[in-house]
Homo-oligomer: A and B are copies of this chain.
Amino acid sequence: MTDTEETAETYDPSRYERPSVTVDVVIFTLIDRELHVLLVRRKRWPFEGYWAIPGGFVQMHESLEDAARRELEEETGVRDIYIEQLYTFGDPDRDPRTRVISVAYFALVRADRQRLRVSDESLDVRWFPVRAVPSPLAFDHDRILATALARLRSKLEYTTLAFELLPEVFSILELKHIYEQIFGEKLDKGNFYRKIKDAGVLEETGLLREGRGRPTRLYRFRRDRGDGQFVFRWREARIDAGESHERD
């Protein structure tokens, strides 16, 4: 360890202490048209009683993404959902117990599918509106959450990620609402219609949904045409994707 000339070639694993590696998964969903994040409440030291981003240790035989998906399923019972690696947090003192390096992922769960598997542990696992997350969170989880939000905002601009938050079938104004939620600004109705339609990623279902006023047409996301290079640039937004890529 004092020998800085040591390289991968001369490495003997038994000579080293090793950090622990976890995955933490920032899971977003839409509840009542508002963006929510899943948090778990810690029962023990350190940060006993604090809310934290769900996570767990990576097992020796599974890939990082598999570990993240396993966590996701354990917490929400959801499979086959959008997930991507976010950033790896590894400051030496982020966990008082030992050196823990955490590979953070973020996941989007469809509005119509979210439900907690451990519903009777409702004091321990909960969806929080992102605007009303308890503060501070355990460990460096405030920073992880901030990074996830920045990434989400960033990717919404140039990908079709927003659809991952919506149910199978949705209206254009519901989609617009997501963008407004996440960007935190009002968007022009007319311009939104034009842009989303020109992008060619919507498939008309023929369905209508009745409401107070004129019924709204319902659409489906065309995954095939998903190549659709979005580029929303409402206002001058342009937030770097967090820690590095940071927009990314």
A48 and chain B: residue at smallest CB distance: B9
A246 and chain B: residue at smallest CB distance: B248
Number of A interface residues at 8 Å Cβ cutoff, please give it. Answer: 63
**B interface footprint on A31-67 (CB within 8 Å = 1, 0 otherwise):** 0000000000011100000001001111111111000
B57 touches A11 (CB 8 A): yes
The yes or no answer to A167 lying at the interface (CB within 8 A) is: no
A21 touches B101 (CB 8 A): yes
**Told that A13-B97, A241-B245, A245-B247 touch, could you supply 10 new A-B pairs with CB distance under 8 A?**
A8-B42, A8-B55, A8-B57, A84-B243, A85-B244, A88-B103, A151-B245, A158-B238, A240-B248, A245-B245
The yes or no answer to A214 lying at the interface (CB within 8 A) is: no
Residues of A within 8 A of B (CB): 1, 4, 6-11, 13, 16-22, 42-44, 52, 55-64, 70, 74, 84-88, 90-92, 97-99, 101, 103, 151, 154-155, 158-159, 229, 231, 233, 236, 238, 240-241, 243-248
Copies of this chain present in the complex amount to 2
A22 touches B8 (CB 8 A): yes
Closest CB pairs A-B (n = 7): A248-B248, A241-B248, A245-B248, A64-B90, A84-B244, A88-B88, A85-B244
Tell me whether A238 and B245 are in contact in the complex, defined as CB-CB below 8 angstroms, given that A20-B13, A57-B16 are known contacts.
Answer: no
